[in-house]
Amino acid sequence: MHAAVRERNRIRVKTSETIDAYLMLAPCYILYIIFVLVPIFETVYFSFTNYDLYQKNDFIGLANYFRMAKDSLFRQSFINTVYYVLLTLAPQICLGTILAVMFNKKLYGRIFYRTCFYVPNVTAIAAMSMVWLWIYDPNKGMLNALLGSMGLPQPSWLFDTALAMPAVAFTSVWRDLGYNMLIVLAALQGIPEELYEAAKVDGASGVKQFFKITIPMLQPTLFFLVVTGTVKTFNVFEQVNILTNGGPMNTTTTILHQIYNRAFSNFQMGYACTLSVVLIFFTVLITAANFKLNEGQKADVV
């Protein structure tokens, strides 16, 4: 009898706790549904229409997708985006890791250096881009003035088809370096000191310790940075819009830049939604591939 009552009470308490938990989660889920899921479904819907923000909103089937397949400007923006990802993702993670390892040591002034590297990350991207616009100015910019004073060539940076994208990528690496450094720094604090001591006793050099202890222990953190960094770099827009507006000759236009132009300048919201769907698809694909790779590496370790 007592056992039955106790069991009933236990179930009642558990149900009550479950309801409370869902109530706690409810605001977050409601916000997610309203501001993320619903817009995604709307985007998919509008990708099958000729919606122009005002008058037209007719269902046109797959016409937008067929148009996208023939759109040379979209193809170029896709290639540019992949190029941008390659130029930014690896450097900001690798350099961020190296900086984190350096500033994890008891260096004089390390807090100052950490702050210096992190401050660009909290600066508004638009403000940062305006400053780099002045730095990159081929006539009066600080960068060319410095190069000129050293007798080096002074390229036209943002006006050069070969240099424009690397210049844009550099500003992104400069900005996000601090964030990557901070995340890795936090992860480094969690690596047991004993591992390094044991390695030292065994005669392992600093470099060997870095590759055999630090990197494997940082794997979950690096995986997180790769996944979030991939999503972020695929969605680059502000720097491109301010520094080059996609030029010269569309060598810096990216997928999101094209989506923005088609939607808000060309009255082609339906087509812009099509490009958005494709962007979501590729971002999910690459993220899934990252997860698969990470699982494979974990399995190898096991």
Which listed residue (121, 137, 228, 286) binds another protein by CB under 8 A? 137
Cα atoms in the Cβ-side hemisphere of radius 13 Å centred on 295: 6
Q: How far is the CB of 158 from another protein (least distance, A)?
A: 8
Residue 36 binding another protein, by CB under 8 A: no
Give CA–CA dist 89/176, Å, rounded: 10
> Given the complex with another protein, which of 236 and 263 has the nearer CB atom?
263
149 binds another protein (CB under 8 A): no
The encoded tokens of residue 145 equal 């003035």
Question: Which of these ranges, 46-54, 109-117, 181-189, 199-207, lies near another protein under the rule CB under 8 A?
Answer: 46-54
Q: Is 265 in the site for another protein (CB under 8 A)?
A: yes
Alpha-carbon span 139 to 155, nearest angstrom: 10
55 sits near another protein (criterion: CB under 8 A): yes
Interface residue with another protein among 65, 113, 118, 159 (CB under 8 A) is 159
Q: In angstroms, what is the minimal distance from the CB of 265 to another protein?
A: 6
Instruction: End-to-end CA distance of the chain: give it in Å, rounded.
Output: 49
Among 73, 127, 186, 198, binds another protein (CB under 8 A): 73
Grouping H, G, I as helix, E, B as strand and the rest as coil, residue 266 is coil
Of 4-23, binders to another protein (CB under 8 A) are 16-17, 20, 23
Burial 133-143 (b: 16+ CB within 10 A, else e): bebbbeeebeb
Phi-psi region of 247 (alpha: psi -120 to 50; beta: other; left: phi over 0): beta
> Comparing C-alpha atoms, which of 263, 257, 209 is closest to residue 236?
257
Query: Binding residue for another protein (CB under 8 A) from 71, 99, 129, 168?
Result: 71
Distance CA 134, CA 143 (A): 9
Q: Which stretch binds another protein (CB under 8 A): 101-109, 166-174, 230-238, 264-272?
A: 264-272
Best CA proximity match to 231, nearest among 204, 255, 267:
255
Site residues (CB under 8 A) for another protein? Answer: 16-17, 20, 23-24, 26-27, 30-31, 34, 52-55, 67, 70-73, 137-140, 154, 156, 159, 161, 245, 247-250, 261, 264-267
